[in-house]
A and B are shown apart, each in its own frame.
Chain A
């Protein structure tokens, strides 16, 4: 691969156009319902220009910036799993006739270009790749076709958010590999520039078509410095040393019941988490009973009927369900898939209505602090 190129905002628009011309549906951050969501974008004007997100436990606000940065924010409630493993997807459809039951063909998956993937989220996608291949063979052929067809444009983070802890999970603020193109937004004297590195042959080909100049040393150094400093400005930290063993040997710790007093079991954390993968199947039939559909949909271990077997659920209390999620994410996942399930994106902290902060809970477990009985919602939560 050649060295990085540089272009201004117009170059980014050229990239978007080139991707669309190549048949990709370009998806990226855009403002929807007062948050920065991931949705189809056409030009750079669709990005959250000059906006940033102020996040805290149970809190999210879009606030105007003083500049016109396109990527001056971190992550919102969406993760890329909503495109790779959609919240609802028909997984089988059958037609009943006198000749028997025939499986109806599935439409082809769209080819997405993800523009603006944060390094933590890229690791999240790779974690979901390992989950999809968990049995040694890929269990979701639809995931494979969506994933293989996806073009990934990463944007590195030089302004970490308040809830971010990617450094602790070794997932950022800079992407090392796994992308087609990686961008870094850099402020120079006369505006903003985008440093672009290719991470694959497809990425290199796409960049070559943009006819952009090579980045000079000054701008490369500016980007490196900004990303290096970002690593020291993380909003939160989590010490993962010995964490798996600590959790797996504390299944009976009183903290689980105590968090259960606060947790609402609302499932927000599992919906926004980039690695949570649990799903369920809904079966339905049309009114004349000739077409049956099996729809795969997101599910959450926080629901009461997630573990339902005859007579009742196995995990009845909210505390037991919280414990399952926590220990799965930060311990069992290592046994199952070879890494932690957490990428340090902080979404679960932001979108928890009562502001439960898993970095804080880990700290309490590690320090051996006795939990406060029936704690009220975190005072940092703003209403």
Chain B
């Protein structure tokens, strides 16, 4: 099972060109995950104990606004990471995520991943660099969304 996971990870664009021993370290804290349509992947306020790499399917990142109900902020697809709050204290989810279609993902156990990162500075550097790149893209996208590009700017 571990070898399959390692192969999946190694072949995934997010881990492209990563050292085999790092891939192995990640595979060691990873398990496959499945979510049926409508299933909750993460829930706002709960302990952020996992990080998900979507392999297949669509998920909606949502925030619940009292009086308005759940608002979709962004739709995540294959190749996207769900969940960042596990990286820094207080390790608590800020948003909800729900599967819009059947979702196949890899679940990384957050406490174990944090331990592995802390133990290996090189692994930490690798991971943080890749996460940073994704976060930059997400930030740019979020800014574009905020800019209300299509609005009648009168």
Q: A–B direct touch, CB within 8 Å, in complex?
A: yes
Interface residues of A (CB under 8 A from B): 310-311
CA distance A311 to B154 in the complex (A): 6
- Is B3 at the interface (CB under 8 A from chain A)? no
Determine the residue in chain B with the shortest Cβ distance to A309: B153
Chain B interface residue bracket vs A: under 10
- 5 CB < 8 A contacts A-B: A310-B152, A310-B153, A310-B154, A311-B153, A311-B154
Interface string of B129-154 (1 = CB under 8 A from A): 00000000000000000000000111
Chain A residues lying within 8 Å of B152, measured Cβ to Cβ, are 310
Closest 5 CB pairs of A and B: A311-B153, A310-B153, A310-B154, A310-B152, A311-B154
A292 → chain B closest CB, angstroms: 26
Chain A residues lying within 8 Å of B153, measured Cβ to Cβ, are 310-311
CA distance A310 to B152 in the complex (A): 8
B20 → chain A closest CB, angstroms: 47
Determine the residue in chain B with the shortest Cβ distance to A310: B153
Number of A-B contacts (CB under 8 A): 5
Chain B residues lying within 8 Å of A310, measured Cβ to Cβ, are 152-154
CA distance A73 to B104 in the complex (A): 87
Chain B residues lying within 8 Å of A311, measured Cβ to Cβ, are 153-154
CA distance A311 to B152 in the complex (A): 8
Chain A residues lying within 8 Å of B154, measured Cβ to Cβ, are 310-311
CA distance A274 to B79 in the complex (A): 62
CA distance A311 to B149 in the complex (A): 12
CA distance A310 to B149 in the complex (A): 12
CA distance A310 to B154 in the complex (A): 7
Interface string of B107-120 (1 = CB under 8 A from A): 00000000000000
Determine the residue in chain B with the shortest Cβ distance to A311: B153
CA distance A310 to B150 in the complex (A): 12
Determine the residue in chain A with the shortest Cβ distance to B153: A311
Interface string of B83-114 (1 = CB under 8 A from A): 00000000000000000000000000000000
CA distance A62 to B63 in the complex (A): 76
A382 → chain B closest CB, angstroms: 46
CA distance A310 to B153 in the complex (A): 7
A310 → chain B closest CB, angstroms: 6
CA distance A232 to B152 in the complex (A): 59
CA distance A253 to B125 in the complex (A): 41
A197 → chain B closest CB, angstroms: 60
Determine the residue in chain A with the shortest Cβ distance to B154: A310
A314 → chain B closest CB, angstroms: 14
CA distance A29 to B119 in the complex (A): 90
A214 → chain B closest CB, angstroms: 71
CA distance A197 to B154 in the complex (A): 61
Determine the residue in chain A with the shortest Cβ distance to B152: A310
B27 → chain A closest CB, angstroms: 50
A305 → chain B closest CB, angstroms: 15
CA distance A254 to B153 in the complex (A): 31
B151 → chain A closest CB, angstroms: 10
Determine the residue in chain B with the shortest Cβ distance to A312: B153
B37 → chain A closest CB, angstroms: 42
B147 → chain A closest CB, angstroms: 12
A313 → chain B closest CB, angstroms: 13
B47 → chain A closest CB, angstroms: 45
B150 → chain A closest CB, angstroms: 12
A248 → chain B closest CB, angstroms: 31
CA distance A211 to B154 in the complex (A): 70
B139 → chain A closest CB, angstroms: 24
B85 → chain A closest CB, angstroms: 37
